Amino acid sequence: MKKYSENKNLFIHDYFQNFGGGERLILTLIRKKDKLVTSFIVAKLKYFLKGKNIYSLQNSKGRKLFLLKFFTPFYFYSYFPNKKYLNAFVSGNYSIFSNLKKIKNKIFYCHSLPKIFFRYEKFYINKNFFLTFFLKLSGKIFKKIYIIKLNQFDFLIANSSFTKKRLKKYYKKKIYVVYPPIKKFYSKRNIIKTKPFFLCNNRHEVEKNIDKVIKVFNNITNFNLIITSQGSQTKILKKLSLNNKRIKFLGLVNDVKYKKLINSCVATINVSREEDFGMSALEGMSAGKPAIVINNGGYLETCIKNYNSFIINKNNIHNDLLNLIKNFDTSLAKKMYKNCIITSKKFSKENFQKKIEKFYLT
């Protein structure tokens, strides 16, 4: 592993709204003397970030989340580091707009091409004509700037082969793939007993298909559904649950609670459209729990049918998932326990750091 001076690195991440895969990844890399710049941090997450050297471009207190996110690209575009750094590690869809001319070595870790710019019609069609027109027009402008900024980086690292394939169209140099690390939630068997519920541990966004999962569980009587995290779709998803007592929303939970949930669930459900990697599925595997996923995107790089996962058809999510849950084979899920653990070990923090640090200048 290459050694490097800890006070020569700048890390930039979009914002801290949820404590998801992107947030966990950036916090894995920073040292005490490193600086982390972000657009904003919501109040609920400040507890998780105590003791970190983080600078926020926006003050989130008393401001609406929509406005904070809307102005994020502009804040980064006008952000110039106040001193020279040897390395800059950028992670996120909007932090890429930062001005890093003074940085000697620029590294961009891409979790996903921003859907609002590159796949608008597929994910964000809105019936409001004026909003749709505005987003399409601004999206074209931002997409052009995004591609220019993307090609200013010395190294581009994708979180999966699926993401790399999408990036090839816009980046002229070599693209590397380094799978992100996952946080392990393993607990010895029999310490935490399995309970009759499935865990949906994705952010509440359009592409995550949580609405389809809820509609299925509105027709299920033999299992419960627990939904963690939050997002732009939270209110809509709660309405869809029809006050179903078998469906519970827990919001953001700390690692202690999350570990207990993962170890006591039957399996996790992760059916996102065109998922770039699928970290939530692997977090469940770290506790020996198989994932229910669709046959699409980054899932196919880590999930193997009847080995560590149950795979359903992306074009028939409702019927396939309904049939799977109604006739769920708990004995098969238990048999996957060791395979899930073996899979999760490939995505360790140590392996990730070794591979990433090869890109740093020392």
Give the chain's count of helices (H) and strands (E).
14, 13
pLDDT in tens, 188-221: 765 678 999 999 999 898 889 999 999 999 999 9
Token look-up 């999510």 returns 317
The answer to whether 188 and 96 are in contact (CB under 8 A) is: no
Q: What is the DSSP letter of 178?
A: -
Sheet holding 54-56, edge to edge: 54-56, 35-38, 9-13, 87-91, 105-110, 155-158, 175-177
Q: From CA 171, how far away is CA 315, in angstroms rounded?
A: 31
Q: Are 105 and 361 in contact (CB under 8 A)?
A: yes
Residues of the chain with CATH 3.40.50.2000: 6-181+348-359, 197-345
Q: Which of 13-22, 301-310, 319-328, 353-362 has the lowest mean pLDDT?
A: 13-22
Tell me if residue 55 falls in helix, strand or coil. strand
- Paired tokens of 204: 């509440």
Q: Two tokens at 215?
A: 């509609």
Contacts of 239 by beta carbon, 8 Å cutoff, 6+ apart: none
User: Which residues are within 8 A (CB) of 19 and not within 5 positions of it... i.e. 6 or more apart?
Assistant: 45, 48, 252
Residue 161 CB partners (closer than 8 Å, separation 6+) = 177, 298, 301
In this predicted model, what pLDDT tens digit does every residue of 92-139 receive, in sequence order? 889 999 999 889 999 999 999 887 778 765 555 555 667 677 777 777
Q: Encode pLDDT of 147-175 as tens digits.
A: 999 999 999 999 999 999 999 999 989 99
CATH of 6-181+348-359, one of 3.30.43.10, 3.40.50.2000, 3.40.50.720, 3.30.420.130: 3.40.50.2000
In angstroms, the CA 149 to CA 86 distance is 19
What's at 108, amino acid-wise? Answer: F
Q: Tokens for 166?
A: 């999408």
pLDDT in tens, 21-68: 788 888 888 888 889 999 999 888 877 777 778 999 999 888 898 899
Between CA 231 and CA 224 the distance in angstroms is 21
288: closest CA among 228, 338, 361? 338
Q: Which residue has the higher pLDDT, 120 or 69?
A: 69
Q: Which residues pair with residue 89 across a beta bridge?
A: 11, 107
8 A C-beta contact, residue 143 and residue 115:
no
Pick the CATH number of 197-345 from 3.40.50.2000, 3.40.190.10, 3.30.479.10, 3.40.50.1820: 3.40.50.2000
Tell me how far apart the 2 most distant CA atoms of the chain are, in Å: 60
Taking the alpha carbons at both ends of the chain, their separation in whole angstroms is: 11
